[in-house]
Structure 1
Amino acid sequence: MSRPPVNPAGPAPEPDPAESGFPAGTGADKFAPGPDAERPRGIVVIALIVAAEATALLVAAAWYGYELLTGAPVLSLGGAIFTLGLLLAFSAWLYSVALFLFRGRRWTRAAALVAQLFVLTIAFPTLTGGVVLAGLAMLVPAVAALVLLFDKRVISYASRTGDMPPAL
């Protein structure tokens, strides 16, 4: 189908809904939900998993900081403080990923995917090292989040663009 020529100096033409490529009422709009779209359960589950991982990192950071303050021997105090800072920063990053994933931001799917891959790289050696309960506690939620990240409803909800308020 050809279109008439458009003068670039003139006003932009109004979009014709009939030319969207989808017949009206076919449900094609469900792939580009608006800001009031219903939040899929998968988003809620992934956000809870990521928030739980962030909480676990925060608890680990608190325990690590307590050990530093009570005089646990370390080879390098600077390295130990840097490690504590990394634990706190990664925890804050995971909390923000969970929050903005819950809100449906695009960038959070990739961030959650990377976080789950990091968890898997720790879960498998933990399992093979004989600490089965801790390994399963890391492996099962990470696999569940990975599967849900590729659900079409989650992808659709977290791929919205346009009418969203600024992140910060």
Structure 2
Amino acid sequence: MVRPLAIVILSLIVAAEAGALLVAAGWYAVQLTTGAPVLSFWGAVFTLVLLLAFSAWLFAVAYFLHRGFRWPRAGALVAQVFVLTIGFPTLTGGYAAAGLAMLLPAAVAVVLLFRKSVISYASRAGGAPPAL
């Protein structure tokens, strides 16, 4: 089966979001190690671990979506809903460029997730053989 262009674009959007989270985690780690004031050191470490884990999860979603598996569609949709939830207040809070940088790719990703070509291509089930 030929990989549709929509799945490639969708995978790239999700991978770019994962990369942005990885950059944010790196910036956060630099701030944490240079002595930026925090209320709770272990809370800041927990936040850093969450950023890294969510970035790794999004990279996995992008990779397996590109390969045509079924489960990453739900993960990609949840991630886009989170981005939209953060993007609207960012846009209306006076940070138009940052808000649009979040909203536009997320909106495109949501539209692409429901295209017929994406749904038919990304419908492969898991890979384990039957138990019996």
**TM-score normalised by structure 2 residue count:** 0.94
1:42 correspondence with 2:13: no
1:76 is matched with which residue?
Answer: 40
RMSD: 1.0
1:8 is matched with which residue?
Answer: none
Partner SS for 1:111? helix
AA partner of residue 131 (structure 1): Y
Structure 1 residue ranges without an equivalent (≥5): 1-36
Partner SS for 2:94? coil
Q: Which has the larger radius of gyration?
A: 1
Give the whole-Å Cα distance in 2 for the aligned partners of 1:64 and 1:145: 27
1:111 correspondence with 2:102: no
1:100 is matched with which residue?
Answer: 64
AA partner of residue 51 (structure 2): L
Deviation at 1:160, TM superposition (A): 2.7
Aligned identity (percent) is 70
Stretches of 4+ moved more than 2 A in 1? none
Give the whole-Å Cα distance in 2 for the aligned partners of 1:112 and 1:65: 26
Structure 2 residue ranges without an equivalent (≥5): none
**TM-score normalised by structure 1 residue count:** 0.74
Deviation at 1:159, TM superposition (A): 1.2
1:147 correspondence with 2:103: no
* Structure 2 counterparts to residues 130-141 of structure 1, below 5 A: 130-141=94-105
Give the whole-Å Cα distance in 1 for the aligned partners of 2:75 and 2:127: 20
* Structure 2 residue corresponding to 1:158, chosen from 114, 118, 122: 122
Give the whole-Å Cα distance in 1 for the aligned partners of 2:45 and 2:127: 36
- Is the helix fraction higher in 1 or 2? 2
Superposed CA deviations along residues 23-58 of structure 1, whole A, max 9, x for unmatched, are xxxxxxxxxxxxxx1001111001000000000000
User: How many positions carry a matched residue from both structures?
Assistant: 128
Give the whole-Å Cα distance in 2 for the aligned partners of 1:65 and 1:76: 14
Deviation at 1:127, TM superposition (A): 0.4
1:59 correspondence with 2:14: no
